[in-house]
Amino acid sequence: MIKLFNNYLVNYRDPEDFTPEEDREIADFLDVLLDTQPMQLAYKYVTEGLGKPMSMDKFKEELRIIWFEPFTNYFGNDIVFYCSGFEHVFVGEGKFNPRGGPGWGEISGYHNWVKFYLDEAKGRVNFLGTQYKLPGVSEVLNPNVVTLQMTWTLSNMAGDPVAQIFKERGGFFVGTSPECDLAMGTVAYYESVQKLISTNGGL
């Protein structure tokens, strides 16, 4: 998974263009995923529980499309090109003016604890505190999930900072494996296609 983190351009306006080596990294990642218990359980649930029978090779191709195929995200009046599920969830995207200007840009996505851990170790992200916004609750004493406020400093190839972007409220599971996160997201995708879950997260 970590090999894939540097395959994406943070600015949501920049087109993504994968090299053959990056395509190979994606294929290798999917091969490893499909050998894990969480993805085997997801495959069994999708093919048997949801009644969508397919071969493992077909499932792998659908995973590639779901998680890595670029698409256009229509979020209200905000149209974001060159999105992918993996980039949004695991890497994060940034909305900012690369020429600078007043105010911070905005972080979109960025829901992976490993990415946050690595970025924080290198001084690229700054934890600004929790943001649970629950009535009468300032902290949730669950070490396996965090809802937070953060900044992310973006640098150019020379290591010079070019932007600082901000997330007012975001979060991720802590300690989950990549295959667990992908399996849960994959099951949620297939359930949403069959209208078993609503777009606001309710049942």
Q: Which of 88, 115, 122, 195 is catalytic?
A: 88
Assign 82 a pLDDT band (cuts: 50, 70, 90).
confident
Residue 32 lies in a domain: yes
Number of domains, the chain: 1
Residue 148 lies in a domain: yes
Give the rounded distance of the alpha carbon of 32 from its chain centre.
Answer: 18
pLDDT computed for residue 25 by the predictor? 95
Dist. CA 64–CA 86, nearest whole Å? 10
Return the minimum-mean-pLDDT range out of 64-68, 120-124, 132-136: 132-136
Percent pLDDT > 90 in the chain is: 56
With H, G, I as helix, E, B as strand and everything else as coil, classify residue 102: coil
Section 10-17 average pLDDT: 67
Give every CB contact of residue 48 below 8 A, 6+ residues apart in sequence.
none
Return the minimum-mean-pLDDT range out of 36-40, 149-153, 158-162, 180-184: 158-162
Section 195-203 average pLDDT: 61
Structure tokens at 186: 């994959």
Residue 201 lies in a domain: no
pLDDT computed for residue 116 by the predictor? 97
Residue 67 lies in a domain: yes
Dist. CA 115–CA 101, nearest whole Å? 27
**Residue 133 known to be catalytic:** no
Residue 202 lies in a domain: no
Element (H, E) at 58: helix 56-68
**Residue 111 known to be catalytic:** yes
Residue 199 lies in a domain: no
Q: Which of 3, 58, 111, 122 is catalytic?
A: 111
Residue 203 lies in a domain: no
Dist. CA 9–CA 82, nearest whole Å? 10
Angle formed at CA 81 by CA 154 and CA 75, multiple of 5 degrees: 100
CA end-to-end distance (rounded Å), the chain: 31
Structural domain harbouring 51 = 2-193
**Residue 167 known to be catalytic:** yes
Q: 16-67: per-residue pLDDT in tens?
A: 777 899 999 999 999 999 999 999 999 999 999 999 999 999 999 999 999 9
Q: Which of 95, 122, 167, 195 is catalytic?
A: 167
Which letter does DSSP use for residue 47 in this model? I
How high does pLDDT run on average in the chain? 86
Return the minimum-mean-pLDDT range out of 4-8, 33-37, 198-202: 198-202
Dist. CA 166–CA 108, nearest whole Å? 9
Residue 89 lies in a domain: yes
Query: Which one, of 200, 192, 184, 168, lies nearest residue 90 by Cα?
Result: 184
